[in-house]
Amino acid sequence: MANKKILYVCTVDSMIWNFLVPHIRELESSGYTVECACSSTGEIINALRDEHGLVVHEINIKRSPVKLTNFKGLIQLINIIKKGNFDLIHAHEPVGGVIGRLAGRFCKKEVFYTAHGFHFHPGGKKLNNAIYYSIEKFMSFFTDKLFVMNNYDYKMGKKMYGENNVSLIHGVGVDIERFQNDQSNLKERLDIRLKCNFAKNDIVIGTVAEFIPRKRYIDFLYVAQRLIKLNSNYKFLMVGTGEKLEEMKQLAKELRITQNCIFAGYCKNVIPYFNAMDLFLFTSNQEGLPRAVMEAMAIGKPIVASKIRGNEDLIVDGVTGFLVPVGDIDQYVIKIEEALNTPDIGIKAKERIINNFSTSKVIEEIIVEY
């Protein structure tokens, strides 16, 4: 299919910025022409155009599926596809996925969809799971090829789409070369720890995640409270922003752990913060294949994470990290202490990412499917 024209459709520009630029670059070098369509979150869409030279069409869609503006976005996208004479529409994210597939099929184009984690999942509410499953089953009639990122979604995808219409890929991939400069990593570690006023003997437990309900920062802070009672040298570094940020800052005050917690906010380059950590803790209750966990593993950090879809695909329990039932504060505390006393667990985590989840490997998988 080389020399064909592809339109990437996403709900927001940040999806392209954070995950898809390397894919687009590799596709272009392989002879494809790639353009994008998405909504704008501010300056990112201009950065995609100015810094990366991408052709990005702005459409009026929202993350909420019930917003009426999404119908306007659908019409805009149909017009873009007609004028652009694309051969393939490749949609991402839930709303972008629905609108992209509907517009692509209306224009009689070949349509691919990458599910970054179905909204129905083990542990989800039965009614929600039934609704989201029904929607995805309906959308299967508008999709020529489905890409999924974890084994649970692969199983469910085959059930909805058929055996030959689903492919399992290894997420969006990790740029391994960004994590390999040990000398630079050490400097970044020292710089961030100095910036955060961490002492040399402090044990830094960190995470990188949006402050939204499904990330369960409440569990992270209760774990912090328990560990601080055991050892005041435990410090907690949280990188991210979101709707629950102020609520979690207030909870930290109520738990009397504010002095041991750093809320770092949004950081464009999170690698120095990974370097500053001694262990990565991830308490989410719903994921597809979490990029933050992959990056923490790529840099060689011990991982303790919730035992959910996606995390289970990345972490070999007891070998490359530890998995804990969602919300089990006692087990988080136990496994954190065990991980910190297992010297080679970070090394094995890094090897697993290099061997299985590199960006180059993922792009190769996608090009084969194209």
Read off the pLDDT of residues 36-68 as tens digits, 9 standing for 90 and up.
999 998 889 999 999 999 999 999 999 888 889
Distance separating alpha carbons of residues 353 and 282, to the nearest angstrom:
17
Burial class (CB within 10 angstroms; exposed 0-12, middle 13-18, buried 19+) of 91: buried
- For the record, the structure tokens of 352 come out as 């697993």
Q: With contact defined as beta carbons under 8 Å apart, do 235 and 205 qualify?
A: yes
Cα 109 to Cα 82, 103, 142: the distances in Å are 10, 9, 10
Q: Are residues 282 and 214 in the same domain?
A: yes
Which is nearest to 115 in space by CA: 287, 314, 285? 287
Beta strands, E only, the chain: 5-12, 33-39, 56-58, 88-92, 110-114, 145-148, 166-168, 203-208, 234-239, 261-265, 279-282, 303-306, 322-324
CB 230 within 8 A of CB 340: no
- Residue 262's CATH number: 3.40.50.2000
Residues 139 and 246 in one domain: no
Shared domain check, 266 and 291? yes
What is the domain count for the chain?
2
Give the position of tokens 């990565």: 280
Evaluate if pTM is beyond 0.85.
yes
User: What pLDDT shows up at residue 343?
Assistant: 85
250 in the same domain as 141: no
Instruction: Give the span between the Cα atoms of 343 and 355, in whole angstroms.
Output: 20
Asked if residue 320 lies in contact with residue 345, where contact means CB atoms within 8 angstroms, the answer is: yes
Residue 238 has a pLDDT of: 98
249 shares a domain with 218: yes
- 313 and 228, same domain (yes or no): yes
CA–CA separation, 120 and 128 (whole Å): 7
Phi/psi-derived region of residue 240, left when phi > 0, alpha when psi is between -120 and 50, beta in every other case: left
Q: Are 170 and 357 in contact (CB under 8 A)?
A: yes
Domain membership of residue 162 as a residue range: 5-174+358-369
Same domain, 78 and 204: no
Q: Are residues 17 and 149 in the same domain?
A: yes
- Residues of the chain falling short of pLDDT 50: none
Residues 205 and 323 in one domain: yes
C-beta separation of 334 from 223 below 8 A: no
Does 192 lie in the same domain as 136?
no
Say what the pLDDT of residue 3 is.
Answer: 78
Whole-angstrom distance, CA of residue 145 vs CA of residue 89? 11
Q: Are residues 52 and 184 in the same domain?
A: no
pLDDT for the residue 243 = 95
Rounded to whole angstroms, how far apart are CA atoms 339 and 308? Answer: 19
Report how far residue 139's alpha carbon sits from residue 102's, in angstroms, rounded to the nearest whole number.
Answer: 8
Q: Residue 309: left (phi > 0), alpha (psi -120 to 50), or beta?
A: beta
Are residues 196 and 132 part of one domain?
no
Instruction: Report the Cα 283 to chain-centroid distance in Å.
Output: 14
